[in-house]
Amino acid sequence: MSSDLRTAIIENITIADFLRSEGYEVIPRGRKLTVKGHDSLVITPDKNVFTWNSRGFGGSVIDLYMGLHSCDARTAMTELRKQLPEYEKERPKPNRPHPAKPPAPKDKESVPLILPTEDKNKWRRVYAYLISTRKITPTIVKWLVQEKTIYPDERGNLCYLGRDGKGGINYCARKGTLTPRDGQKGYRNVVEGSDYQKRCVMNHSPSHTKLVVTEAAVDAWSFASMLEIHGLDHKAYTYLSLETTYEGPLGIFLDENPQIRTIYLAQDADEGGLKSRTNCRKLLEEKGFTGRVIDKLPNANAPGAKDWNDALILKRAEMEREPVEQAPTHTDEPTVQPSIGLELTP
């Protein structure tokens, strides 16, 4: 494709606007910009360039599109060109009898996934973070430990793992367990060599027919905690953490797991989460998915809850207030309140 098209895309499509169109929340950081949940992505707006430190690449909006969608430059420019109607209208049509063959995408050199070293002396911090701060139920935390899904690294960060269909580890991310100082973001890092196209799949089993989709791993664990609280089997579900709002990993998972018949879209209850749900539904329609797709909004019965961890924290607080008032008198009314956002879960 021509260099003038490349120039037009770079000059007319800002990285910030592109990220917002993809469902990301762009946040100012001094003279720079970053993205909620991805602090290592740093944007320089006056130059319209970015650096994504945790993934080891940077460049223009075209490079960012290539990285997010795993495509070559030609495909990225073809898609981004759709956002340039005026350019397309004025662009002269070249008289070519045979269009040039698109260049074959270059294969990236494979980087092995080397897991951070476990520090058994730091388990106390991980337990405190999950159980006390995030209010994940002890049953779910014990399950995550037994399944070797979580562990502490040498700095006390929480490491969590994703696996492929054969049980092999193909994803690892780290999350800080200390409360950030005012105005600062908590530490988060995707370990080099992780399969970022598939993201973080947990409790993967070829026998599972139900899939829960969340934006973050802690939301998946919160959803599992809610299932446990309401007497449902959390082990009967596979959990896919998109680690963002991009729907692509869902399509890859379904290609490899056609047995899935029910999908719970449990993304956040904000603009990015709602757009992510919409994009997931479009993707499922394009793939001809014939199973059930159920929206699970975390604020369905928990006003103010942005995500499933917020909903869980509210539910746990409600449970702690309930018992000690007085012995209940006999009533024909149900004594168990409906689940927050889970009423129709089979």
Does pLDDT of 177 surpass 60? yes
pLDDT at 181: 73
DSSP code string of 144-175: HHHTT-EEEBTTSPEEEEEE-TTS-EEEEEEE
Give the model's pLDDT for residue 218.
Answer: 97
Q: Name the residue type at position 148.
A: K
Task: Determine the pLDDT at residue 53.
Answer: 77
Rounded mean pLDDT of 281-290? Answer: 95
Judged by phi (left if over 0) then psi (alpha if -120 to 50, else beta), residue 77 lies in: alpha
| pLDDT score of 189 more than 90 | no
SS3 94: coil
Q: Out of 22-31, 175-184, 334-343, which region has the weakest mean confidence (pLDDT)?
A: 334-343
Return the pLDDT at 334: 36
Determine which helix (DSSP H) or strand (DSSP E) holds 41, and give its type and residue range: strand 38-44
Cβ within 8 Å of residue 64, ≥6 positions away: 15, 18, 19, 50, 52
Triad 131, 314, 296: Cα angle to 5°? 100
Domain at 3-90, CATH from 3.40.50.360, 2.60.260.20, 3.30.70.20, 3.90.580.10:
3.90.580.10
Lookup: tokens for 334: 């149900």
What are the two backbone dihedrals, phi and then psi, of residue 54, each rounded to the nearest 5 degrees? -70, -20
Residue ranges, comma separated, of all CATH 3.90.580.10 domains in the chain are: 3-90
Distances (CA, A) of 25 to 34, 52, 254: 9, 15, 27
Whether the predicted pLDDT of 98 surpasses 60:
no
In single-letter form, the type of residue at position 230 comes to: H
**Model pLDDT for residues 209-234, shown as the tens digit of each residue:** 999 999 999 999 999 999 999 999 99
CATH class of 120-320: alpha beta
Quote the pLDDT of residue 107. Answer: 46
Q: How confident is the model at residue 333 (pLDDT cuts 50, 70, 90)?
A: very low
* Distance in angstroms (rounded) separating the CA atoms of residues 231 and 178: 32
pLDDT band at 3 (very low <50, low <70, confident <90, very high): confident
pLDDT higher than 50, residue 116? yes
Residues of the chain with CATH 3.40.1360.10: 120-320
Q: How far apart are CA 194 and CA 333, in angstroms?
A: 51
**Residue 262 in contact with residue 284, Cβ under 8 Å?**
no
Average of pLDDT values for 316-332? Answer: 64
- Backbone φ and ψ for 189, nearest 5 degrees, come out as -150, 135
Residues 6+ positions from 307 with CB-CB distance below 8 Å? 214, 215, 216, 219, 222, 268, 269, 273, 298
**How many helices and strands, by DSSP H and E, does the chain display?**
11, 14
C-alpha torsion 45→48→54→57, nearest 10:
-170
Predicted TM-score of the model (pTM): 0.66
Mean pLDDT confidence for 167-173? 96
Backbone torsion region of residue 121, taken as left when φ is above 0, otherwise alpha when ψ lies between -120 and 50, otherwise beta: alpha
What single-letter DSSP state applies at residue 239? E
Q: Which of 113-122, 173-182, 190-199, 276-285 has the lowest mean pLDDT?
A: 173-182
Contact 293, 260 (CB under 8 A): no
